[in-house]
Each structure stands twice: as C-alpha cells, then as structure tokens.
Amino acid sequence: MENRTTQLAALTRLFSAAVFREMAKKGRSALFRRLVAETDLSDRCGTKATVGDAFDSAFNILKIAGQRDEYVYRAAISHKILMGRHSLRTASMLNEFRAGSCKADLVILNGTATVYEIKSERDSLARLANQVENYKRVFAKVNVIASDAHVDEILDTVPDDVGVMCLSKRYQITTVREAVDCPERICPLTVLESLRAAEALAILKALGISAPQVPNTQRHASLRVLFADLDPATLHVEMVRTLKQTRNLAPLDDLVRELPVSLQAAALSIPVRHTDHSRLVEAVHTPMRAAMAWS
C-alpha cells in the first residue's frame, strides 16, 4: 500500500508546473527523471516510448476513478468543454482567477463567463458554500464538477441556480443540473477587484466612460466610484469581451497541437514563454532511454 501511495504521488507530481517549466526552459527535466524512477512507467511504456508516451501512460493511471486529482478534472474540462464544444480561437480560459475572497479553479469565456469549481476525490466540500457565493458576484454561470461520490452532497449544499456536473468513471462529463445564466446578480465592485487595472480601464472605455485623470495612487479609488454605478449585466458583457482579448489562448493553439493529450491542460494553465515552446516540444519527443539520463 505504501509503495502504491508513493507511486501515485510521483505520478501526480509529473504534471506539476515545476516539471513542465523545467522542460520548457532547459529541454530536459531532472525532476521528471527522478519521479519516473519512483514508478513503473518505464516498464509500462516499452523500449520505443518517448517522454510524451510516459506522460500519457501516467495520466491514464491517474484518471482512474478514486484517485483522480484536480489536474485530471482540469484536463477533462479543457478537452471536453473548452476544445470540445468551443476552440482556442473563439473562447478563452482563466485559471486560478480571483473572485472575492476566493480563487476560481477554472473559468471559460465564450458568450458568457462560466466558472467551474473542481471537487476531486481528494477534496473536501467544507468551503464550497462560501466559494459559490463569491463566484456568483463575478460570473454569470457557476458550476461545480465532481465525482459520483460527491454529487448528492453538493446538490444538498449549493443553491438551485448552481450547476452540478459529474466526471464519470469512464472519464465523461455529464450534467446533473444545469447552471442558470444570471449576469444581473454580479457585483461590479467585486469584478473590479478581479481585474488588472488596464482591463478595468478598457471596460470603461468600451462603455464610453472616460478614465479618471488622477495620480496612480488614487486611480483604484476613482475606479471604484465609476464601477459602483455600472449596470451588472452590461458590465458582464464587456468583462467577457475584454478578458477574451487580454487572456487570449489562440497563440497557444500550435503548441497544444504538438503536445500529447495528457499535457495539453498544462500548456493552457502554466505560463511558458513563446521562445521556449520549441524546446518543450523537443523534450516531449525525447526517447525515454535518453530522458532517463537527464540531469
């Protein structure tokens, strides 16, 4: 049991930002080699396997119901919703986006802003009610996605306007209850606190409101005065339009296509310089025999 727990921990860490960024920066990852050595991936993959094959093999183990972590859920949403129903050129995705006193796991921007709060098998529901209330102040649609084991308790915990989704044992997303699209309920001041200053100014400009001509030290207070008077639904439309431009994922389209399926969610959530993209792709295509000598 202890050995299995150690292996699962190593497999989970393979998809960490540390490994991803190290491969992008150096074209190799000593951490990847050390983590693989703690598992049986080399035996599973075969003699002709690449680093990408090893990541796919690790992901196939991690996505088995009962041991799935947050990354597995992020990958499911990325593949089945962002790239399955939409595309990187028409929609965008935000990771760890501030919403009141919380950070939203994942937000998809298309015609509206939809937040997905992930509750994996490893998560508690203790903070869920508070998280949902904070999300309603920023996003028109709120969803909670979880495993079968959590669904009934989530339905009892969150209001009826919150959507509930299930990642099944077969790695399929099903909708248990549809989320209500309600931009009228958002709080303009909470939205302001979620935005970069340049994004807030762009929204005001789009609404025909002149930016405050004040020193930088006074700018936030002036923005609060202006945002407090905005119509929530109108603000939501401009927030979505602005964030789709400022947090645009289209430049990652080529990179995502060149990575194994298991790493595509990482590419969409872990910032990597464009100049490092080719180095990352080269590392992923490295034969495992060579990768096990990485230092």
pLDDT, tens digit, 9 for 90 and up, residues 90-128: 999 999 999 999 999 999 999 999 999 999 988 999 999
Architecture category of domain 71-183 in CATH:
3-Layer(aba) Sandwich (3.40)
Please give the share of the chain, as a percent, with pLDDT higher than 70: 99
Question: Is the confidence at residue 2, as pLDDT, over 60?
Answer: no
Which has the closest alpha carbon to 269: 51, 84, 71, 135?
Answer: 71
> Is the pTM value of this prediction over 0.85?
yes
Count of C-beta atoms within a 10 Å radius of residue 60? 14
The rounded distance, in Å, linking the Cα atoms of 179 and 165 is 9
Angle at 57 between CA 55 and CA 62, to 5 degrees: 90
Taking the C-alpha atoms of residue 246 and residue 235, their distance in angstroms, rounded to an integer, is 16
Taking residues 181-189, report their average pLDDT. 98
Residue span(s) of the chain under CATH 3.40.1350 come to 71-183
Cα–Cα distance for residue pair 212/265, rounded to 1 Å: 39
Would you state the pLDDT for residue 288? 96
pLDDT at 1 over 50: no
Q: Sheet holding 141-146: strands in order across? A: 92-99, 102-109, 113-119, 141-146, 163-167, 173-177
Whether 106 and 47 have beta carbons less than 8 Å apart is answered as no
pLDDT digits (tens, 9 = 90+) for 187-208: 999 999 999 999 999 999 999 9
Longest CA pairwise span in the chain (Å) = 65
How much is the average pLDDT of 177-194? 98
CB atoms within 10 A of CB 140: 24
What is the overall mean pLDDT for the chain?
95
pLDDT digit string (tens) for 142-164? Answer: 999 999 999 999 999 999 999 99
Query: Helix, strand, or coil here: 162?
Result: coil
Q: In the chain, pLDDT over 90 holds for what percent of residues?
A: 88
pLDDT for position 293? 96
Q: Which residue from 195, 128, 137, 131 is spatially nearest to 155, judged by alpha carbons?
A: 128
Residues sharing a CB contact under 8 Å with residue 19, sequence separation 6 or more, in sequence order? 13, 29, 31, 32, 35
pLDDT of residue 47: 80
* Structure confidence by residue, pLDDT tens digits, 215-264: 888 999 999 999 999 999 999 999 999 999 999 999 999 999 999 999 99
